Amino acid sequence: MSVALVGAGPGDPELITVRGLARLRACEVLVYDRLVADELVDEAPPGALRIPRDDFQQEDVNKLLVMHGRQGRRVVRLKGGDPFVFGRGAEEALALAMAGIAFEVVPGVSSAIAAPELAGIPVTHRGSASGFLVLSGHATDAFENGLKAVQPNAVTLVVLMGLGSRHELAEKLIARGWNGATPAAIVCGASTPDEWVWTGTIAELGANEPPAGIAGVVVIGDVVRVRERLVAAEEQKVMYGRNR
């Protein structure tokens, strides 16, 4: 394969897949997202060309991948989480396919599932949630359409890129009929040393101050209570989560 679209996982460099790391260590060109851990960028060979994605528009990223791929270079496009979850990875795949460039997709651990999980919150849990809906809070229209799609309090709701709009998120959920007392959580910097977790209710979602500059996930639903039970046990001298 010439180009590999690789998911870096939720943050901790050890949460990349074995195949993803192998592709990274063998690459000649690395195009990487800002959110990807420095340790992973350092895994590319010393001589590899390193291109931070932030310097380019999406269309130009596609062109870069096609250009280097066409020259037969081993290209890795390293993306936070999973390449096909709000990552525009499918657009890159289509651009490569249309240009006739051989490529592969190496899935990654998505923050949509892993960020809550690393905070002790399962997106599904027997008796609490039999399904989960993942939305992006980034674009207001898409978010509102997504919210209209689901009945209040029926499944776990996970919102990626919704930290900045958590006040509006709470207002919109309550306006749509969600119970303001529904458990809610915010998980920032999951699996990194900067991990920050808040739990409360939908009504309290705006009344907290997550750390600036790191990605966060909002989780809504009874599953948040699993964390509270785990934390209660932890306070009785049980460790939970990352190595520490």
Q: Which of residues 143-182 bind a copy of itself (CB under 8 A)?
A: 143, 145-146, 148-151, 154-155
Shortest Å distance, C-beta 24 to a copy of itself: 11
Under the binding rule (CB under 8 A), the answer on residue 243 touching a copy of itself is yes
With CB under 8 A as the rule, give the number of residues binding a copy of itself: 83
Question: Residue 124: is it exposed, middle or buried by C-beta count within 10 angstroms (0-12/13-18/19+)?
Answer: middle
Residue 134 found at the interface with a copy of itself (CB under 8 A): yes
Binding residues among 102-121 for a copy of itself as defined by CB under 8 A = 102-110, 112-114, 116-118, 120
Determine the interface stretch with a copy of itself among 161-169, 192-200, 203-211, 228-236 (rule: CB under 8 A). 228-236
C-alpha to C-alpha distance for 65 and 61, rounded to whole angstroms: 6
CB 58 within 8 A of CB 38: no
- Distance, C-alpha 159 to centroid of its chain: 10
In the list 18, 46, 57, 193, the residue contacting a copy of itself (rule: CB under 8 A) is 18
Which of 136, 192, 196, 228 is in the footprint of a copy of itself by CB under 8 A? Answer: 136
The token pair that represents 164 in the structure block: 């900045």
* Residues in 57-86 at the binding interface with a copy of itself, rule: CB under 8 A: 82-86
**Part in contact with a copy of itself (CB under 8 A); list of ranges 28-36, 90-98, 179-187, 197-205:** 90-98
Q: What are the CA-CA distances from residue 163 to residues 191, 203, 211, 218 (Å)?
A: 17, 15, 10, 7
- For 184-221, the DSSP string reads EEEEESTTSTT-EEEEEEGGGTTSS-PPTTS-EEEEES
Work out whether 186 is an interface residue with a copy of itself (CB under 8 A).
no
Give the shortest CB-7-to-a copy of itself separation in angstroms: 8
**Strand, coil or helix: what is 52?**
strand
